[in-house]
Amino acid sequence: MIQRRLYDLSFVLVLLLGLVSWNSCKKPETPKPPAVIPELSIQDVSQLRTTTETTMKFYLYINKAITNSVSVDYVLVDGTAKSPKDFAAASGTISIPANQTQVELDVQIKGDSLNLRQPNLQFTIQLSNPQFCTIATASAIGTIVTEDGSYLPTDNTGYTSPSQYPGYSLVWSDEFSGSSLNLTSWNQEIGNGTGGWGNNEREYYTNSPKNIFLSNGNLIIEARKENISGFNYTSGRMTTQNKKQFKYGRIDIRAKLPVGKGMWPALWMLGSNISSIGWPACGETDIMELIGTYPRRVSGTMHWKSVSGSDVHKGANYILSAGDFSQQFHVFSVVWSKDTIKWYVDNQLYLTNTIADVEAANYPFNADQFLIFNVAVGGNWPGSPDTTTVFPQRMFVDYVRVFQLSKR
């Protein structure tokens, strides 16, 4: 009987040791999938580029918190933004902890010491291999905003006028060599005027550095396709009204012009008494206008009020023998004296108007006028832009110089 009990006890011990050994060899249980599988998404991000390195934050989120941690693999993919020049390359796995719905993914954006203005740069974050979730949005775009950069170089080739003329003295100039517009000389107009400045123009003028800025020794007026105050385009219009006005002399403006359907850059003058007698009685002197459909042609014109009260004008065109006005700088000039105005491109005379041209009407061009520089978009004369018109469009102005006869 004792032996039997010892045998039974030995059998139990062997059985227990075997059970312990089996339990110790079992593989750990894998977490069970959640009853409800959450959906994971990622959002696009835009961020202004600066002169120093910054962090662009992306947010990954699920639509329902669960008791499991969820994860996904990611990789940054080059687009117009390239690594490592524009951003730091990265890849890996990112997790959203249990009972949470969101996590940040940081991407290092490289700085640009020049702050170059160029089309915005983009890269992609691509997601794959989800764990305990499904992917609702598999990728996101990172946009590095560079379209508002302050530095914009341009080719400086083209005609350059003399810095002095015999018998003339330089009475005022702007070489646009600073970092910002000289507001003691210039006004920046805002809005669309009355009826698109009377021409059914399509732009909204702003005083933003997006539309008017100085860079590399040039004034730049930039027209953009963007919505503001119900208008589809923005641009810049600046004047010297009540700040700088002139009567007679030689005016030289060195500029490179935008071209394309619907573009209408202009360098011109209005009579300083416009506020009291209105237009066209004040007189208008168009030093240069270009209609973008005709990129090789500019026009010079003067407007005045007829005896019957309507607008009357007389002008002429100057056509380049080769190339167009967007490819190089040209100098647009008027030589203005009592009863006579002459128009030049690169010192080539192409139009002369005199007091005799207004006949019986009042001749308003023996009085002070102020300068206007602008880039219009659309209007009665150029028509509206179409799908062939590329934006942004820019007018570069190297300098404006006003010379008058030296006093003897």
Residue 26, in any domain of the structure = no
* 233 plus 372 within the same structural domain: yes
With 0.85 as the threshold, say if the pTM is over it. Answer: yes
* 382 plus 317 within the same structural domain: yes
Residue 13, in any domain of the structure = no
Residue at which a domain ends, from 145, 177, 211:
145
* 199 plus 339 within the same structural domain: yes
* 194 plus 323 within the same structural domain: yes
Residue at which a domain ends, from 145, 179, 201:
145
pLDDT tens profile 69-127: 999 999 999 999 999 999 999 999 999 999 999 999 999 999 999 999 999 999 999 99
Is the Cα torsion angle 245, 250, 251, 257 positive or negative in sign? positive
Mean pLDDT computed over 42-57: 97
Q: Is the pLDDT of residue 43 over 70?
A: yes
* 71 plus 111 within the same structural domain: yes
Tell me what pLDDT residue 278 has: 97
Domain that holds residue 254: 168-405
Mean pLDDT computed over 46-67: 97
Closest CA to 215 of 263, 178, 254: 178
pLDDT tens profile 313-325: 999 999 999 999 9
Question: What is the CATH classification number for the domain harbouring 83?
Answer: 2.60.40.2030
Residue 153, in any domain of the structure = no
* 128 plus 195 within the same structural domain: no
Angstrom distance (rounded) from CA 405 to CA 333? 16
355 phi and psi angles, rounded to 5 deg:
-60, -25
Q: Is the pLDDT of residue 54 over 80?
A: yes
The β-bridge relationship of strands 134-135 and 39-42 is parallel
Q: Is the pLDDT of residue 27 over 70?
A: no
Tell me what pLDDT residue 307 has: 96
* 45 plus 172 within the same structural domain: no
* 124 plus 198 within the same structural domain: no
Question: What is the CATH classification number for the domain harbouring 304?
Answer: 2.60.120.200
Distances (CA, A) of 246 to 70, 188, 238, 240, 266: 73, 19, 16, 10, 18
Tell me what pLDDT residue 408 has: 62
* 200 plus 123 within the same structural domain: no
* 109 plus 174 within the same structural domain: no
Mean pLDDT computed over 173-185: 97
Residue 108, in any domain of the structure = yes
Which residue numbers are catalytic? 284, 289
pLDDT tens profile 198-249: 899 999 999 999 999 999 999 999 999 999 999 999 999 999 999 999 999 9
Residue 373, in any domain of the structure = yes
Q: Is the pLDDT of residue 20 over 60?
A: no
Q: Is the pLDDT of residue 7 over 60?
A: no
Tell me what pLDDT residue 13 has: 45
Across the chain, mean pLDDT equals 93
Angstrom distance (rounded) from CA 45 to CA 106? 11
pLDDT band at 16 (very low <50, low <70, confident <90, very high): very low
- For the chain, the domain total comes to 2
Q: Is the pLDDT of residue 18 over 90?
A: no
* 114 plus 173 within the same structural domain: no
* 140 plus 172 within the same structural domain: no
Residue at which a domain ends, from 110, 145, 180:
145
